[in-house]
Amino acid sequence: MRTVRQLLEAKSPDIHSVRPDAPVIDAIRLMAEKGIGAVLVMDGARLAGIVSERDYARKVVLQGRASADTPVSAIMTAELITVDLDDTVDRCMMTVTDRRIRHLPVVRDGHVEGVVSIGDLVKAVIEDQQLELDQLQRYIAS
């Protein structure tokens, strides 16, 4: 079973983040520019939270707040669920399913190593299943 470390090795090493005091519009612009659904909220080197398109829709749009006047800290998720480099794809899939989340910050020894999305996990599961199918077909054909 693949690990989070292997998933991150196959991805871009970039970690996209904003400061807690940044206006929400900056986070939304960054997400749009990078084609991602969430950004980390970093207070210096410390992971302070995560803000997603879902946070924006529920905590800005539905509450009638202004994106330019609302700080990211007002809408971010501060109680983070994180994973380690040695966690498996299966464990991560269970976590995102059980907790109904789409992004998992990867943290080791207090240092942010990256982010794994549900898309990364689904892709890995499909690739692993395809590999297993190919192996079974070769076994049956031989």
What CATH number does the domain containing 80 carry? 3.10.580.10
Question: Which residue range(s) make up the domain with 109?
Answer: 4-141
What is the H or E stretch that residue 117 is in? strand 111-117
The reported pLDDT for the residue numbered 135 is: 82
> Between vectors from CA 64 to CA 63 and to CA 70, what angle results, nearest 5°?
90
34: left (phi over 0), alpha (psi -120 to 50) or beta: alpha
Per-residue pLDDT of the chain (142 residues; tens, 9 = 90+): 899 999 999 998 889 999 999 999 999 999 999 999 999 999 999 999 999 999 999 999 989 999 999 999 999 999 999 999 999 999 999 999 999 999 999 999 989 999 999 999 999 999 888 888 878 788 788 8
Report the length, in residues, of the chain: 142
DSSP strand pairing (103-108 vs 46-52): unpaired
DSSP one-letter string for 36-78: -SEEEEEETTEEEEEEEHHHHIIIIITTT--TTTSBGGGTSB-
Number of domains observed in the structure of the chain:
1
The reported pLDDT for the residue numbered 131 is: 82
The reported pLDDT for the residue numbered 17 is: 97
